[in-house]
A and B are shown apart, each in its own frame.
Chain A
Amino acid sequence: MRKVWVIARREYLAMVGAKAFLISLALMPILMLGTLLVPNLLKNQVDLRPKRIALIDHSKQLAPLIEEAVDEYNKRGTRDPATGKQVRPAYELELIPSAGVTDETRWELSQRVRRGELRGFIEIPADILAPPSATRSTTIGFYAENAALLPEKGWFSATITSLVRQRRLQQAGIDPQIVAAANAVRVEGRGLFRRGEAGGVEAADRTQRIAAFLLPMGIMMFMFMLIMMSAQPMLESVLEEKTNRIAEVLLGSATPWQLMAGKLLGNVGGSLTVATIYIAGAYGVAHYQSMTDLLPLGILPWFIVFQILAVLMFSSLFLAIGASVNQLKEAQSLLMPVWIVIVMPMFVWLNVVRDPNSAFSTWLSLTPPFIPMLMCLRLAVSTSVSVWQPLVGVGLMLAVTGLSVFLAGRVFRIGMLMQGQSPRMAELIRWAVRG
């Protein structure tokens, strides 16, 4: 047992002391926050040059109204109401006489868009204001390069629709204000009521909407990250021992089982260190922001247990693969199936978050390789997951992890002393089964 401990301590120090590890420790949260924050920061990085739009109005009634709306928008809509700073580009409307418009005219306009002189052009049909019927389409064309993505299209669509609607309502003799009032119903998603510390019933904060969505995803990503940060160093460390002939010295001093147990123990220790640093960090930030009630501390014990089992399982697979190849390059093809299993929960997480207690979610979260990530995801979303489910999950994971460590041990024992050509998948499986 002492040997296991000596090996575990070296493995732990090698993992935690590695530069790559420290860098990824710092980088990982930056990356994760970055994906959330960068689009937000870039939202204000808008091209403020005026956007020129050509308008062909066959109805001859809407153009002046649209011009008015554009003027109004250019005066007020382009500026941030709080700071008065311009945050959106102004629009320049160019009226094209509707008489004599042919496809040739449309081609000219298209060319101008392609040359960048115009952002796009709009063509309003003559009968746009006539009451719609089943046989007649009332479509307005907005022509541009990738028209669907342009913010201008959104603005003009909303503006013209509203103008047309007002006109049609007036023609029908209905006061537009009545219609507007009739529309004003909104359904808002909110969290459940709960008992506060004082015993009174409290409504959920609006901020808890983050908890319903982002937090569970964050927890699952965190689990994924912990697996990744432990499994990769395990592969590299085994590979170093093999290629540098350290394996022979080690195996001359300890049994393969002691060696593997020590390595896995050190590895799990390393992943627990990462988990502790991040959880403490997250708690610290939440405390500072007085948002500690947002953190689902209740699932922490489950998370830790599942994390240990997941790291143990995947690290043992990486260890077996590392022991059977001679170069990192050769490991890639063998790692592919393992990677697919690791990232699989990412493909279904949205379905699970939407309906954590459906049969699909329940069964998938009780399917061994996916248990750690999906069970934690469900526990973070829903309070109505009965306690037997994570318990059964732990039991299943224990069995599967035990099996994978056992089989990995057989591959490890044979692979470590093997030089020369790397084995194929079929050969690895034969080692694992026959021992």
Chain B
Amino acid sequence: MDNALELHQVTKRFGDHVAVDHLDLTVPTGSIYGFIGPNGSGKTTTLRIILRILYPDDGHVVVLGKSDHRAAHDAIGYLPEERGLYQKMKVRELLRFYAELKGLRRCAPAIDEWLDRLELADWADRKVEALSKGMAQKIQFIATVISRPKLVILDEPFSGLDPVNMEVLKDAVLQLRDEGATVIFSTHDMDMAERMCDTIFMIFRGRKVLDGTLSEIQSQYGADTIRLRMSGGRVALDSLPGVQHVNDYGTYRELRLAPSADSNAILARLMPLGRIERFELARPSLHDIFVRIAGPESDTMREHHHA
């Protein structure tokens, strides 16, 4: 089985609204696949189709080699964005419930092992409502992976976590991958997606707009970005010839170049304006690419407004 997941021309409509539009997607087994896209672009619908909570109107879905839609798949683990836990249940009972629901029996050792690993052993007999947000998120993660799913779908798994817990959880995700699981994770955190995902997939208005490794995606745009820091006053740079867009990050600015622009010419225009402390020719970040596609000034958005 080479692919954990295949979507072929999948379409889902809600009334007149097309939530997912002829989507093709192939997720190889054992990879970490990042799902990005703005809110309301069809991400959750796609995840629900993969989970077999929703049926596509057209196209077909093969999950872990099976295209049977009638039964829920025990080999998929799903972590919903925020919450997803019974507040009144004790942690251990809750984990046991989720494990048994996935058909896992004699799950007590696995539960203890996971609680130990994520430093939650003291909380095993406390009620979920007593947990902090970060702890609840870790419990949610255990609930998702307790049954050793082959395909793990994580929706914003790191939200609400401090850096220490984020590290712990990130290591756990990587270990799942090392043990052969396929991980799909949906996030708004572009840095996290860049660092963790083998492949990145972006959906926008129900259509696939990006699909590939980070360097594949970046090479589509070329080295069209200049990161610049200058001492002295804030000089207006928008009017420089060849500069399409300026994004101010505080300590430095990011200049997006027009396809024909020459970076040397821009450097020459900049030098009289102040002291240059940093001038770096770079490929655009995922964040920048995301904004270019889905931001208010993007081509698609402009098209949309004219339409």
Residues of A contacting B88 in the complex (Cβ-Cβ under 8 angstroms): 14, 18
Residues of A contacting B101 in the complex (Cβ-Cβ under 8 angstroms): 3, 6-7, 250, 253-254
Instruction: Indicate which residue in B72, B81, B87, B93 contacts A253 across the interface (CB closer than 8 Å).
Output: B72
- 244-276 of chain A: CB within 8 A of chain B: 244-246, 248-255
For the complex, give the distance between the alpha carbons of A240 and B94 in Å: 14
Interface presence of A2 (CB below 8 A): yes
Interface presence of A10 (CB below 8 A): yes
Residues of B contacting A341 in the complex (Cβ-Cβ under 8 angstroms): none
Interface presence of B121 (CB below 8 A): no
Given A248-B53, A250-B101, A417-B48, also A255-B86 (CB < 8 A): no
Residues of B contacting A241 in the complex (Cβ-Cβ under 8 angstroms): 86
Residues of A contacting B100 in the complex (Cβ-Cβ under 8 angstroms): 6
Given A18-B88, A245-B81, A246-B86, also A2-B103 (CB < 8 A): yes
For the complex, give the distance between the alpha carbons of A253 and B86 in Å: 16
Instruction: Indicate which residue in A13, A18, A248, A249 contacts B98 across the interface (CB closer than 8 Å).
Output: A249
Contact at B53–A417, with CB atoms within 8 Å? yes
Interface presence of B52 (CB below 8 A): yes
| Shortest distance from the beta carbon of B96 to any chain A beta carbon, whole Å | 9
Interface presence of B143 (CB below 8 A): yes
1/0 contact string of B66-82 vs chain A (CB within 8 Å)? 00001111101010111
Interface presence of B120 (CB below 8 A): no
Interface presence of B296 (CB below 8 A): no
Contact at B84–A249, with CB atoms within 8 Å? yes
Given A3-B101, A244-B85, A245-B82, also A253-B48 (CB < 8 A): no
Contact at B52–A249, with CB atoms within 8 Å? no
For the complex, give the distance between the alpha carbons of A182 and B271 in Å: 130
Residues of A contacting B98 in the complex (Cβ-Cβ under 8 angstroms): 249, 253
Interface presence of B51 (CB below 8 A): yes
Contact at A253–B84, with CB atoms within 8 Å? no
| Shortest distance from the beta carbon of B129 to any chain A beta carbon, whole Å | 11
Contact at B51–A251, with CB atoms within 8 Å? yes
| Shortest distance from the beta carbon of A211 to any chain B beta carbon, whole Å | 42
In which size bucket is the chain B interface? 20 to 34
| Shortest distance from the beta carbon of A2 to any chain B beta carbon, whole Å | 7
Given A18-B88, A246-B86, A253-B102, also A6-B97 (CB < 8 A): yes
Please, which residue of chain A has its CB at the minimum distance from the CB of B128?
A244
Residues of A contacting B80 in the complex (Cβ-Cβ under 8 angstroms): 245, 248-249
Instruction: Indicate which residue in A244, A245, A250, A255 contacts B87 across the interface (CB closer than 8 Å).
Output: A244
Instruction: Indicate which residue in A7, A245, A255 contacts B71 across the interface (CB closer than 8 Å).
Output: A255
Given A7-B101, A253-B74, A254-B101, also A14-B48 (CB < 8 A): no
For the complex, give the distance between the alpha carbons of A6 and B134 in Å: 28
Contact at A240–B87, with CB atoms within 8 Å? yes
| Shortest distance from the beta carbon of A365 to any chain B beta carbon, whole Å | 39
Given A254-B72, A254-B101, also A244-B83 (CB < 8 A): yes
Interface presence of B161 (CB below 8 A): no
| Shortest distance from the beta carbon of B148 to any chain A beta carbon, whole Å | 14
Interface presence of B174 (CB below 8 A): no
Interface presence of B64 (CB below 8 A): no
For the complex, give the distance between the alpha carbons of A251 and B51 in Å: 8
For the complex, give the distance between the alpha carbons of A7 and B102 in Å: 11
Given A250-B101, A253-B102, also A14-B82 (CB < 8 A): no
Residues of B contacting A7 in the complex (Cβ-Cβ under 8 angstroms): 101
Residues of A contacting B53 in the complex (Cβ-Cβ under 8 angstroms): 248, 251-252, 417
Please, which residue of chain B has its CB at the minimum distance from the CB of A413?
B53
| Shortest distance from the beta carbon of A20 to any chain B beta carbon, whole Å | 10
1/0 contact string of A298-323 vs chain B (CB within 8 Å)? 00000000000000000000000000
| Shortest distance from the beta carbon of A82 to any chain B beta carbon, whole Å | 54
For the complex, give the distance between the alpha carbons of A240 and B86 in Å: 7
For the complex, give the distance between the alpha carbons of A244 and B81 in Å: 10
For the complex, give the distance between the alpha carbons of A18 and B70 in Å: 34
| Shortest distance from the beta carbon of A57 to any chain B beta carbon, whole Å | 73
- 369-422 of chain A: CB within 8 A of chain B: 417
Interface presence of B89 (CB below 8 A): yes
Contact at A252–B78, with CB atoms within 8 Å? yes
Residues of A contacting B78 in the complex (Cβ-Cβ under 8 angstroms): 248-249, 252
Residues of B contacting A13 in the complex (Cβ-Cβ under 8 angstroms): 93
Residue from B48, B52, B72 whose CB has the most chain A CB atoms within 10 Å: B72
Contact at B83–A246, with CB atoms within 8 Å? yes
Please, which residue of chain B has its CB at the minimum distance from the CB of A250?
B101
For the complex, give the distance between the alpha carbons of A2 and B48 in Å: 23
Residues of B contacting A417 in the complex (Cβ-Cβ under 8 angstroms): 48, 53-54
Please, which residue of chain A has its CB at the minimum distance from the CB of B73?
A252
Residue from A14, A18, A241, A249 whose CB has the most chain B CB atoms within 10 Å: A249
| Shortest distance from the beta carbon of A421 to any chain B beta carbon, whole Å | 14
Residues of B contacting A252 in the complex (Cβ-Cβ under 8 angstroms): 51-53, 72-73, 76, 78
Given A253-B72, A254-B72, also A248-B89 (CB < 8 A): no
For the complex, give the distance between the alpha carbons of A3 and B98 in Å: 10
For the complex, give the distance between the alpha carbons of A377 and B274 in Å: 95
For the complex, give the distance between the alpha carbons of A138 and B80 in Å: 85
Told that A3-B101, A240-B86, A252-B51 touch, could you supply 6 new A-B pairs with CB distance under 8 A?
A241-B86, A244-B83, A248-B84, A249-B84, A252-B53, A255-B72
Top 7 A-B pairs, shortest CB-CB distance: A252-B51, A252-B78, A244-B83, A245-B80, A6-B100, A251-B53, A253-B101
21 contacting pairs across A/B (C-beta < 8 A): A3-B103, A6-B100, A10-B97, A13-B93, A240-B86, A240-B87, A245-B84, A246-B85, A248-B48, A248-B78, A249-B78, A250-B101, A251-B72, A252-B72, A252-B73, A253-B72, A253-B98, A255-B70, A255-B71, A417-B48, A417-B53
